[in-house]
Chain A
Amino acid sequence: MVDLFDFESSNNNNDDGKKIYSVSEINNEIKIILEDSYPVVWISGEISNFKTYSSGHMYFNLKDENSQISAVMFSGYNQKLNFIPKDGIQILVFGKITSYVQRGTYQIQVSYAKEIGIGSLQEMFEKLKNKLETEGLFDHKYKKQIPYIVNKVGIITSKDGAALHDILSVLDRRFSNIEVLIYSVRVQGNEAKYEIAKAVEYLNANYKDLDVLLVGRGGGSLEDLWAFNEEIVARAVFNSKIPVISCVGHEVDFTITDFVSDLRAATPSVAAEMVAKNRIDIEDKLTMLKKAITEKIANIIFLAEEKINKFKTCRALSKPYLIYEDKMMYIDELKDKLVNSIKKVYEDKKSSLQTEIQKLNLLSPLNILQRGYSVCFDEKGSLIKKSEQLLKDDTVNLKFSDGTVKAKVL
């Protein structure tokens, strides 16, 4: 056997019977040992020095804090990757160790790889999300109303971050009379979650008059935003008595904090808009309402004045005699009507009386005499109706229409 610790002596004593390898021989032997020993291996590490050759094969190193190993993933295998490999990504690979004799190097020949950074964060996210959801922390009944008017806003973010800059810019642009209290925290790294949670608690304990808290940060990788997916932060936000608007990253970024907050804003700028816009809208609305009632009352007064003026100039007040004249005319008219109708009644009666007289006339005996008849009376004046009442030599009176004559029966 080769004594590994006797390198010096073996080097210096080439021909004392010890086995001497050629470079090829040793490399070949190592290749066999390596490949036999590690036909199947899982390695986790971070990708560095990643390149894809025109052949489609991928070459990169897998590294951790202290060491690295070359890796190759041939195109036949790397077609099946479900992530885009790039430097800095944590992956888990499966493959075998191979050695390249010509260069005396070894590498892992990867046949399967998966992203573990994202994978595990995603898993943690889902796990916590499910847990808090089951506990009811996302329930609508716990969502506090963001006050209609925000006078004082607390901002929990990094004082040097883009989020604060964006929020203050919006508030500037909106000219809003809002008091801002900033609690600067680290928004990434291991300490971030503690600082954010502490800030929420501190403001709740010491600045109860804040109307709303904005909790968030600007955009970044999932890892950068991770603090907002931590349970301690989620619980602090949930327990906040002051309503919380979460504003983490960009529109597409959803964090656990977003689920427990009372309102989620897509970005810090949007959160600031929410806080300021309502206020501006209300200011505008107030101005408008004030204008409306002022105009309306002016109008009502104007109409009332007009009405009074109309009364003042109306005939009854300005020319009361006109009313008297009117009435007189009316009375005259009535009188006229009355007289006419009485006249008519009189005329009617008169004409019917005439008719009756006429009828009487027709029946009068005088009338008959006028038509040429005469009546005969005896001397005593009794009416002779039959010839047998008369004898020869009786004197009779014959009455004609125009007079009476004495006559003797022959």
Chain B
Amino acid sequence: MKKNTFETSLKRLEVIVDEMENSQLDIDKAMKLFEEGVSLVNDCSAKLDETKKKIEILVEKNGKIEKEKFVRNENEN
């Protein structure tokens, strides 16, 4: 599942950071880890940015249920 991938990515990212911080790496290995890490960060951010905030409400119209933009009847933004 997508969500799993997200979690695995995040976990992998943590491992990478850990490895980069705690072990004596040669630079080739470090660059490889870094590249992998950056691409994981981008994947995860993309997943988070997949949705933009929006609020809709289902309303019944002529026996059919339809989606509508939800307008709050309060003095808030």
Residues of A within 8 A of B (CB): 147-149, 151-152, 159, 165, 168-169, 171-172, 175-184, 202, 206, 279, 282-283, 285-286, 289-290, 292-294, 296-297, 300-301, 304
Contact = CB atoms under 8 A, between A and B. Distances in A.
A146 to B, nearest CB: 10
B55 A292 contact: no
A181 B56 contact: yes
B48 A301 contact: no
Contact of A180 (B7, B25, B65, B70): B70
B54 A293 contact: no
Contact of A301 (B13, B17, B27, B50): B27
Contact of A148 (B6, B27, B50, B76): B6
B17 A296 contact: yes
Sorted from nearest, which 10 A-B pairs have the closest CB atoms? A182-B57, A297-B34, A293-B37, A296-B20, A151-B51, A180-B55, A300-B30, A290-B41, A292-B17, A304-B27
Nearest to B55: A180
26 contacts: A148-B6, A148-B10, A149-B6, A151-B51, A159-B57, A171-B53, A177-B49, A177-B53, A179-B55, A180-B55, A181-B67, A182-B57, A183-B57, A285-B10, A289-B37, A289-B41, A290-B41, A292-B17, A292-B20, A294-B34, A297-B30, A297-B31, A297-B34, A300-B25, A300-B27, A300-B30
A279 B47 CA distance: 11
A179 B54 contact: yes
B72 interface: yes
Interface string B17-51: 10011000101001101100110010011011111
Given A148-B6, A159-B70, A297-B30, 13 more contacts: A148-B7, A151-B50, A151-B51, A159-B57, A177-B52, A179-B56, A180-B56, A180-B70, A184-B57, A282-B44, A293-B17, A293-B20, A296-B34
Given A202-B65, A293-B17, A293-B38, A182 B55 contact: yes
B66 to A, nearest CB: 11
B3 A148 contact: yes
Interface of B: 3, 6-7, 10, 13-14, 16-17, 20-21, 25, 27, 30-31, 33-34, 37-38, 41, 44-45, 47-59, 65, 67, 70, 72, 74, 76-77
B34 A177 contact: no
Contacts of A149: 3, 6, 47-48
Interface of A: prevailing SS: helix
B68 to A, nearest CB: 10
Given A293-B17, A296-B21, A152 B51 contact: yes
Contact of B48 (A202, A286, A293): A286
Given A165-B74, A292-B21, A183 B58 contact: yes
A169 to B, nearest CB: 8
Nearest to B25: A300
Nearest to B56: A181
A329 to B, nearest CB: 36
B37 A282 contact: no
Contacts of B54: 179-180
A202 B55 CA distance: 18
Given A177-B53, A290-B38, A300 B20 contact: yes
Contacts of A286: 10, 13, 41, 44-45, 48
A148 B1 CA distance: 12
B51 A179 contact: yes
A343 to B, nearest CB: 51
A169 B21 CA distance: 40
A329 B3 CA distance: 70
A297 B16 CA distance: 11
Contacts of A184: 57-59
Nearest to A303: B27
Contacts of B31: 297
Contacts of B30: 296-297, 300
A290 B33 CA distance: 12
Contacts of A179: 51-56
B32 to A, nearest CB: 11
Contacts of B74: 165
B10 A282 contact: yes
